Amino acid sequence: MPYVAIPSQLKNVNSVSLELMSPEEMLSMSYGEVLTSETINYRTGTPQMNGLFCQAIFGPVKDWECACGKYKRYRYAGVICDKCGVMVTHSSVRRERMGHISLATPCVHPWFIRIIPSRVSLILDMKSTDVSRVTYFSAYVITEINEDIRQEYLSKIDKESKNRVKLTKSEFDKKIDDISRQYQKTKLLVKMTPTS
């Protein structure tokens, strides 16, 4: 491995801290929104527009050239092509630029579940196994209850249970009446039959 000189500022670093960015910070650093999961056009071999490797978001693949080829060379540096929307610049900006993906619902990054202790489980005051089950859709957590709908369903359940009690009581009374009638009939039959 070749020797690489380390700048003097990096020699004096004692620690490195990582922090989460707020959604506003992420959007301010983003150069555009990724709309499709496509990566490369298999026919042309170029990055797909609005995809994960989009040149309009992340920068050109070729130095000082837009995606469609309308603007070439250094003299058009900083110009944004009106056809393809790619800024004419050095291709190394693809390593620096970031895009964003807008999701329909929030999701959890696996790193926050896998590390011990799990930060998500500490914040939610839940077991880490329960949090991972919710994350992988094998369980769910109720976060909010609409009291109006809850009361409506409770009243329906109460009415149904009262109706069932009435039905079972009436069925029970009918069965008792049937049994008493049968008993009376058998009693009469026993009296009427001659004994020897």
pLDDT at 25 (0 to 100): 93
> Which residues, in sequence order, are CB contacts of 81 under 8 Å at separation 6+?
66, 67, 68, 70, 71, 87, 88
pLDDT at 163 (0 to 100): 85
Considering only the C-alpha atoms of the chain, give the largest distance between any 2 of them, rounded to a whole number of Å: 131
Which residue is listed with tokens 């109720």? 142
Boundaries of every domain in the chain:
21-102, 105-143, 152-186
Mean per-residue pLDDT pooled into runs of 10, the chain (196 residues) = 64 80 92 94 92 94 92 91 93 93 86 84 89 89 87 90 84 86 83 71
| The model's pTM | 0.57
pLDDT at 3 (0 to 100): 57
Residues 113 and 90: their CA atoms lie apart, in Å, by 38
* CB of 41 closer than 8 Å to CB of 48: yes
Residues 92 and 58: their CA atoms lie apart, in Å, by 10
pLDDT at 92 (0 to 100): 92
Q: Which of 25, 27, 30, 47 is nearest to 38 (CA)?
A: 47
Q: Which of 94, 26, 83 is nearest to 60 (CA)?
A: 94
Q: What would you report as the CA-atom Rg of the chain, rounded to the nearest whole angstrom?
A: 37
Residues 46 and 38: their CA atoms lie apart, in Å, by 11
Q: What are the structure tokens assigned to 84, written together?
A: 């393809």
